Chain A
Amino acid sequence: EIVLTQSPGTLALSPGERATLSCRASQSVSGSNLAWYQQKPGQAPRLLIFGASSRATGIPDRFSGSGSGTDFTLTISRLEPEDFAVYYCQHYGSSPWTFGQGTKVEIK
Chain B
Amino acid sequence: EVQLVESGGGLVQPGGSLRLSCVVSGFTFSANYMSWVRQAPGKGLEWVAKINQDESEKDYVDSVKGRFTISRDNAKNSLFLQMNSLRAEDAALYYCVRGGSFFPQWGQGTLVTVSS
| Residues of A36-81 contacting chain B, CB below 8 A | 37, 39, 44-47, 50, 56-57
Q: Give min CB distance, A45 to chain B, whole Å.
A: 6
Task: Decide if B45 touches A99 in the complex (CB within 8 Å).
Answer: yes
Number of B residues contacting the other chain (C-beta, 8 Å)?
19
Q: Are B44 and A88 in contact (CB under 8 A)?
A: yes
A100 to B105, alpha carbons, bound, how many Å?
Answer: 19
Question: A88 with B62: in contact, given A35-B102, A44-B107 (CB under 8 Å)?
Answer: no
With beta carbons under 8 angstroms apart, the residue of B50, B101, B109 that contacts A33 is B101
Given A44-B95, A88-B44, A102-B44, A97:B101 Cβ within 8 A: yes
Interface residue from B47, B50, B60, B108 paired with A99 (Cβ < 8 Å)? B47
B43 nearest CB across to chain A (Å): 9
Q: Report the minimum CB–CB distance from B70 to chain A (whole Å).
A: 14
In this complex, how many residues of chain A approach chain B with their Cβ under 8 Å: the count is 23
- Cα distance A50–B101 when bound, in Å? 10
Partner of A90, one of B45, B95, B106: B45
Asked whether, in the complex, the Cβ of B101 is within 8 Å of the Cβ of A92, the reply is yes
Query: Closest CB-CB distance, A70 to chain B, in whole Å?
Result: 18
A-B contact pairs, 11 of them (CB 8 A): A33-B101, A44-B109, A45-B106, A47-B105, A50-B104, A57-B104, A90-B102, A97-B47, A98-B46, A99-B45, A101-B44
